[in-house]
């Protein structure tokens, strides 16, 4: 796929807000981040985090390590190099999208065109607003 350097590209696996939040936390944080820290920071339930982390893991974006601290089972996450690259590309695409000038649509006036005036309205005695007759 040809694309200008530095423009990024959208990633449909990362784009949902929960997965974007997981990747953002893992990209900015420590090497390994515990399940409960990700869950609490992202603000989702255990089952939602499990579901979204599985999608990222299956895509090769997330590495999962299971172990125990004392007798308690623990799960840790980290982004893989492929996951870091995909997140960086998606983030660059979002930043580029946010900085792009708005392109008017055919039904949207451009800044040099004036929008048609809104119809004048009067208060309806029965409540609400009714259009004013000509």
What whole-number distance in Å separates Cα of residue 72 and Cα of residue 62? Answer: 23
Which residue reads 């840790």 in tokens? 76
Supply the pLDDT for residue 2: 41
pLDDT tens, position by position, 6-30: 578 899 999 999 999 999 999 997 7
Structure token digits, residue 25? 């936390």
- The structure's pTM equals 0.70
Residue 1's nearest CA partner among 60, 87, 97, 89 is 89
C-beta of residue 122 within 8 angstroms of C-beta of residue 129: yes
Domains and their CATH numbers in the chain:
17-85 (1.10.10.10)
Q: How many CA atoms lie within 13 A of 23 on its CB side?
A: 30
């Amino acid at each position: 796929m040809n694309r200008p350097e530095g423009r990024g590209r959208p990633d449909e696996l990362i784009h949902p807000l929960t997965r974007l939040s997981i990747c953002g936390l893992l990209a900015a944080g420590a090497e390994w981040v515990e399940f409960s820290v990700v869950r609490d920071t992202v603000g989702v339930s255990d089952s939602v985090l499990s579901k979204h982390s599985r999608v990222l893991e299956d895509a090769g974006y997330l590495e999962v390590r299971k172990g125990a601290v004392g007798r308690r089972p623990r799960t840790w996450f980290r982004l893989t190099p492929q996951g870091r690259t995909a997140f960086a590309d998606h983030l660059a695409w979002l930043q580029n999208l946010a900085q792009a000038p708005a392109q008017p649509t055919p039904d949207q006036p451009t800044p040099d065109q004036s929008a048609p005036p809104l119809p004048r309205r009067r208060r309806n005695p029965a409540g609400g607003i009714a259009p004013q007759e000509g």
